[in-house]
A and B are shown apart, each in its own frame.
Chain A
Amino acid sequence: MILALGLSIIFALIVGIWAARSKKAESVILPLLDIFQSVPVLGFFPFVIAAVYGVFPDFIGANLAVIILIFTSMSWNIAFGVYEAVKAIPQDYFDLLDVARAGTWQRIRSIYIPASMSRVAYNTQISWAVGLFFLVASEIISLGTKNVPIQYGIGVAVEQFTGPPFEYGNYVLLVVGIIGAVIVWRFLFLREFALWSERFKMMEEPRETHRDPIMRAYSWVSARSVSKLFLLTQGRGVTRFTSAISRFSRGLKYAVAIFAAIFLGLILVAAASSGTLYLGAIPSLQSMAATESSVLVALAYSFVRVWYVVAICIAVGLPMGVAISLNFKLYDTVSPLLEVISSIPAPILLPLIVLIPVIGHEPEAVAGIVIFLSIFWYIVFNVMAGVRTIPGDLKDLPHVFGVGRLSAWRNVYVPSALAALVTGAITAVGGAWNALIIAEYFQPNPSQGPITQVGIGIGKTITIATDSGNLEVLFFAVVSMTILIVAFNLTVWRRLYHNVTKRYTYNR
């Protein structure tokens, strides 16, 4: 995991700086990062395993595959952070470098990297949570596929303890251990990293400023809470990518081409290594059409599943986030709690959810809960951030005019959280597609059969195809899902985001 994180940071620095300093690179890299970011990484994982495992058919290959997956889940976000940080360096500094006739390496070391440090630190915290989710998922998947000898890991432990016989003691121990590790890691290490990186800040970033000293004291405290970092970067990132795409629609073509090339290359390697690469293996048109139509049906089911859960998340998360953020005391107590809960990877809890009476036997409900647990945080944290950034005066406004609570919510608080809500929803939907792969069909131990599975769904299709090594189905499922998601991002989300930010952003 740390290895993957290190790789991610290095990758992010290179790509981010490159994109920020070269117009040409920028126009291709930004849309490319955006596609990578919005595509469900888990869908590609089977190909990665097949490809990497084909090349290194042993212990190393399996671990490498896991590292690559976690890397892909973490690095885009950090790369965007670096890009934005380097972009934000004032022109004066570049002039300074020119005057000093600094070489490339010197530029990178003396200005670019220090300038990026604080964003790297912030975005790392987000990536960490995301990465943990994938770590568990990927170890489980890779085990399910090939019985690959990854001997140690959280995912491995989950599988061991939950596959019958269900070992309660060990399982509880495991969950407690993970929570403990999460707390230690996030609150001690990552937080220190973030605080340490503060001194690399180029300029005073606009903080919440209250003229009222009481509020200032509160914002001092809350500015230092990790959740704030978490939400700010998470949301800001995604939305800026979406707008980045529109700015660089010229480079989009190349980005899509590069992405497709990478994907095809992956499939070829996978196919070659599994020995199915010969002409006869290319399926007939009819079979492809049949596959595609069944994939489309599954996609439709999953689409509905994703959206009803997102709708529930919004219905719960919006009022909850607003209420928490409006109340300082509540915010200070609840937000660290939410952080801890949110960083427990949902797949770990799945075996527990299955045990809930009645609901646990309802695969549709189980899937809903797992998706909910994977994405709810994006919504609630983003809404919280949105409301936190409302200036104190705006919060006072309903009081000054004695406006009722209902009207205050309808006219002031909810509208001011809308832009953040859309941002959070974009991320949440992306996360939901990923979560499907675990939520719709979960089989920690191949010999025992799945412990939960829905009737029809793209996640189930992908998982089963992975397990049975059916590259044809896998190919169509992943490609269709990717196209749907990217197309949806480019059309619906972009427009919605544009409209909402245009009106529902508070600028003085």
Chain B
Amino acid sequence: MSQQQAQPLAGTTIVAVEHVNLDYHKEREPLPVLVDVSMTAKRDELVAITGPSGCGKSTLLRIVAGLIRPSAGKVMVLGSEVKGPRADVSMVFQNFVLLPWRTALENVLFGLSPRKDLTEEQKREKAKAALEVAGLSGFEDVYPGELSGGMKQRVGVARALATEPRVMLLDEPFSSLDDLTAERLRKETYTLLINPQTSVQSVILVSHNVEEIIELADKVVVLSGRPARVVGEVEVKMPRPRNKKSEEFFQWVDKVYTLLS
């Protein structure tokens, strides 16, 4: 475990992003995308990353996932450096990214397919259990095309959960859903991911929806526009369940908006 700072508030650091820079090259000019970004996610924390659209939030998440290598700096997960995609980090995508030619169960199984330690039978059991947890029992043999957006995202969550990750990355998971569906799924997500039963120890959520962030996050990392730097962090010290209509809620929302603008 990393023992960088002795922050008194929470437990051990699960994810540490350390001075990450990312440039990309367009017509030979290096164009900075991320500049010296550092942040941490601790045990049982849900950390939200937000910022103006196109600033590189999702890019940062992909660096944590090991899909993109940073130009400088590093990401540590559970004390070891991220050098590529890894089994203890899983991800839920904005547009679900389900295989339309596979059933819901097969989609979850696809996520489990690299697990050599499990028999096919065990994988099926795990996949079914994950679908059930995500509220999809009875839909195992349905193709994604026949599912509503909300249910598709539930398959996406089940697929990510089934692999028993320590770190769960959520990339705008609710933004392609209609308001009502998103509302319901948001409510379930927090308890689904952060509870003593799951393997998940930390969640990082990327979102541009400030109310969503205040509803879910323990900590908010606010990025600036291009190139993205961390302009501030907000610890949302508000008891759960959070009342979205309370005065206190709006004060937290305002706090993040102030940093954003």
- Residues of B within 8 Å of A400, CB to CB, are 65, 67, 85, 90-91
- Residues of A within 8 Å of B102, CB to CB, are 411
Q: Given A396-B67, A504-B100, are A401 and B59 neighbors across the interface (CB < 8 Å)?
A: no
Number of interface residues of A (CB under 8 A): 27
Task: In the complex, identify which listed stretch (B9-17, B25-33, B125-133, B251-259) lies at the interface while the others stay far away.
Answer: B25-33
Cα of A505 to Cα of B144 in the assembled complex, Å: 11
Q: Provide the B112-154 mask, 1 if CB < 8 A to any CB of A, else 0.
A: 0110000000000000000000000000000101000000000
Q: Does the CB pair B33–A404 fall under 8 Å?
A: no
Q: Which 3 A-B pairs have the closest CB atoms?
A: A508-B95, A401-B111, A402-B114
* Min CB–CB distance B8 → chain A (angstroms): 34
Q: Given A212-B59, A415-B101, A504-B100, are A393 and B25 neighbors across the interface (CB < 8 Å)?
A: no
* Min CB–CB distance A421 → chain B (angstroms): 13
Q: Does the CB pair A393–B97 fall under 8 Å?
A: yes
- Residues of A within 8 Å of B101, CB to CB, are 415, 503-504
Number of interface residues of B (CB under 8 A): 38
Q: Given A214-B68, A402-B87, A508-B95, are A407 and B113 neighbors across the interface (CB < 8 Å)?
A: yes
Considering the complex, which residues of chain B in the window 50-64 have a beta carbon less than 8 Å from any beta carbon of chain A? 54, 56, 58-59, 62
- Residues of B within 8 Å of A502, CB to CB, are 145
Cα of A380 to Cα of B86 in the assembled complex, Å: 33
Q: Given A391-B95, A415-B101, A507-B145, are A213 and B31 neighbors across the interface (CB < 8 Å)?
A: yes
* Min CB–CB distance A184 → chain B (angstroms): 26
* Min CB–CB distance A486 → chain B (angstroms): 30
- Residues of A within 8 Å of B31, CB to CB, are 213
The A contact surface, by secondary structure, is helix
Residues of A participating in the B interface, judged by any CB pair closer than 8 Å: 211-214, 217, 391, 393-394, 396-397, 399-404, 407, 411-412, 415, 502-508
> 25 A–B contact pairs at CB < 8 A?
A211-B54, A211-B59, A212-B59, A213-B56, A213-B59, A391-B95, A391-B97, A393-B94, A393-B95, A393-B97, A396-B67, A397-B97, A399-B67, A401-B114, A401-B163, A402-B87, A404-B114, A411-B99, A412-B99, A503-B145, A504-B100, A505-B100, A506-B100, A507-B100, A507-B145
Q: Does the CB pair B113–A508 fall under 8 Å?
A: no
Asked if B249 CB lies within 8 Å of chain A CBs, one says no
* Min CB–CB distance A425 → chain B (angstroms): 18
Q: Does the CB pair B96–A508 fall under 8 Å?
A: yes
Cα of A403 to Cα of B123 in the assembled complex, Å: 14
Q: Given A214-B68, A407-B113, are A402 and B85 neighbors across the interface (CB < 8 Å)?
A: yes
- Residues of B within 8 Å of A403, CB to CB, are 110-111, 113-114
- Residues of B within 8 Å of A399, CB to CB, are 66-67, 84-85
Cα of A412 to Cα of B113 in the assembled complex, Å: 13
Q: Does the CB pair B58–A401 fall under 8 Å?
A: no
Q: Does the CB pair A401–B176 fall under 8 Å?
A: no
Q: Which residue of B lies closest to A500 (CB)?
A: B101
